[in-house]
Amino acid sequence: MSISAELAITGLYTSLLAILFIALSFNVSRLRLKHKVSIGGDGVKPLEKAIRIQANFTEYVPLALIMLAVLELAGLAAMWLHILGLTILLGRVLHAMGLTKTLGVSLARQIGTLATFMVLLVMPVIFLVMTYL
């Protein structure tokens, strides 16, 4: 079996999340051009917010995708891999949408954050149970 076949589900969610990351990055670039800021946020609130949305994505998504790949290689059922992958994807979309609308509390941001944390908590537990119990 080839690696691509072994990691087909992880590859799907990696691809979708890469597209989301590019969209978030384009938004940062657009705002940098608009406000003529090349490094940092320079106190421009919309740019600073876009930078944090992108940075938050890069802080959580890599570990989630590594764990998804580990679970796929460990033989977790496809249905569960899709549930976890969709939760990561929807969580990141909701987080970005919620933070885009306001710097304060928003339901979308809260749900997105909770979804991300839950997946990052559940995936290693699943692996440990599958492997050691």
Dist CA 56 CA 73 (whole Å): 27
pLDDT tens-digit readout, 17-37 = 999 999 999 999 999 999 999
Count of domains forming the chain:
1
User: What is the span of the domain harbouring residue 13?
Assistant: 3-132
pLDDT in tens, 66-90: 999 999 999 999 999 999 999 999 9
Report field, pTM of the whole predicted structure over 0.85? yes
**Domain containing 111 — which CATH number?**
1.20.120.550
